Structure 1
Amino acid sequence: MGTIELGPERGRLLIKTGRTGLGRRAGHDLTIEATRWSGALTLPGDATSVADATAEGSSVEVRVPVDALDVREGAGGVLPLSDQDRTEILGNLRTVLGAAEHPEITFESTGVHGTPAEFTVEGRLTVAGRTEPLALRARAEDGRVVGSATVKQTRWGIKPYSAFFGALKLADDVAVEFDLRL
């Protein structure tokens, strides 16, 4: 079996949020990046690259410190995203995720199905101390693995952020995207 170490030097992990509610025009759709993270991709048999491997028998695990999440972009909104907004958003994020008690977000695969060209990774995502199943869709091409999943915050016991007496709300569905060079 071949193991490929994963981290920011190999690619990006992004979280993308949307907004809902009557006041949604005031808020921003956010792109949040994990600036520090680690993981391992284990390939079956004697495979040493994704191109040589079959999806079946592969596994992946990833660890992201909550304090390594950083706001990279805020699209939309009445005003541009300020540094003060970024600081406030990160503070709210760490509070909502219970970073003091649960400092890491983890994903551990339980099965991989498909072909290197297109596959699904099933696993367990732990956020804020709660573990739930999650399926990622991905594809390998030109030495990269690109994929995504949708995380419904309430499924992990997270109440989506709201402001202005509920007029501005973070959408329950959050997109997680990754682009890795292997």
Structure 2
Amino acid sequence: MATIELGPGDGRLLVRTGRSGLGRRAGHDLVIEAARWSGTVTLAGDDLAGAAAEGSSVRITVPVDGLEVREGTGGVLPLSDQDRAEITANLRKVLQADRFPEITFRSTGIRGTAAEFTVEGELTVMGRTEPLSVRAAGGDRVTGEATVKQTRWGIKPYSAFFGALKLADDVRVTFDLDVRPG
């Protein structure tokens, strides 16, 4: 059995948003990075080849106040530092960071091969836990993604201009991690 501790030095966890509504051209598609996070991968075997074996697990914790806006594409005007600060403040308000300071993912099963696998698990956001499937591939570096439908976790997607500009309900969580033991 091998345990791998992970954090920001091992790779990136990103949240990618899109826009909807009549005013979508005015807003930005965002890339939000988990600048602070921690994770543990426990392998049933001694290496990644045994990752899909029974007994392997993944746990990730992201502090809500560790989420930072990195990029904004599209929109009428470029994303400014003031925009980033306002979006970050809004994000923390929407996710109720004062009441629910962490987002967690805990695996319930892993299936596939070391080259391509699916991690079934439970994502907890704002105190609400729902199942989530994460698709991943790799070896020493693991990349993958999952689609999170905000309303499923009780999150009302941000809107402005009386609903003409809305954040799309589906956000895409992506990751690129170095998971070599030691």
Shift of 1:55: 1.1
Contact kept, 8 Å, 2:51 with 2:110, in 1: the verdict is: no
TM (norm. structure 1) is: 0.96
Of 92, 102, 105, the residue aligned with 1:94 is 92
- Cα distance in 2 between the residues matched to 1:69 and 1:134: 20
Distance 2:51 2:131 in 1: 22
Quote the residue 1:169 is aligned against.
166
- Which aligned pairs between 1:1-182 and structure 2 lie closer than 5 A? 1-45=1-45, 47=46, 49-50=47-48, 52-57=49-54, 58-141=56-139, 143-182=140-179
* Structure 2 alignment gaps of length 5 or more: none
Percent identity among equivalent residues?
71
Structure 1: runs of 5+ lacking an equivalent: none
Between the two proteins, the alignment pairs up a number of residues equal to 178
Could you state the TM-score of these two structures normalised by the residue count of structure 2?
A: 0.96
CA RMSD across the alignment: 0.8
- How far residue 139 of structure 1 moved from its aligned partner, in angstroms, is 0.7
Q: Which amino acid aligns with 2:86?
A: E
The one-letter code of the counterpart of 2:156 is: K
Misfit runs of 4+, over 3 Å = none
| Cα offset, 1:127, TM superposition | 0.5
Structure 1 letter corresponding to 2:82: Q
Counterpart CA distance in 2 for 1:81 and 1:59 is 38
Which residue identity is paired with 2:2? G
Cα separation, 2, equivalents of 1:135 and 1:18: 20
